[in-house]
Amino acid sequence: KFAEHVELSKPEKLTSMVNMAALYQIASVVVAQKYLADIDEKLDKIKKIVEEISDFQNNDRESKITGAIDYFEQISTPILMGKHNSYRNQIEYHESQLLSVHNHLIKDIEKCNNDIDAIENPDSFGTERLQKSIKVHQDKIDNLYKQLSLCIRARAYGWQLLLAAFPNAVEIIKKKKKS
């Protein structure tokens, strides 16, 4: 005995059901692509903001260094002419600013050196993207070392001015060179 029986649908009804399922799949893909495009756009905005912050940080550090150098150039003539009484505090102020920049650069260089191991080849074939990643990393380290070199030279400039104005500051300069 049969408890139930199966009803065979007409082919047009099955076609309609398949078409509805296909339309639903297409609509799902379109909606998913729209969300992915929105997410990609927001990630691009975030990346741009992070790059702007990084640029600001680099420009801020570099401007502190070049500002100190510019100031040292302005006061070098009066100091060498023996008019140096009012400059010691400013030289010391710039030394503290430059020391702060120096320490910050050292930390960034250490982090960058540690990040070398994290560079991976994103492609399973070829090395083009890996080479690009390495180049970006090398440029970043190169820029940090250039800033550090400029900072060290600026500090040395300040020390020379301090010695020219206050010859008895030799011991202070020796301690500064160790930091």
8 Å CB contact between 152 and 105 = no
Q: What are the tens digits of pLDDT across the range 148-177?
A: 999 999 999 999 998 888 878 777 887 777
In terms of pLDDT, which residue wins out, 65 or 176?
65
Average pLDDT, the chain: 84
What residue has token string 């078409």? 19
**Distance between CA atoms of residues 76 and 95, nearest Å:** 15
Higher-confidence position of 165 and 11: 165
- The CA-to-CA distance between both ends of the chain, in Å, stands at 98
- Rounded to 5, what percent of the chain is helix, strand, coil? 85, 0, 15
Over residues 92-148, the pLDDT tens digits come to 999 999 999 999 999 999 999 888 877 766 665 667 777 888 888 899 999 999 999
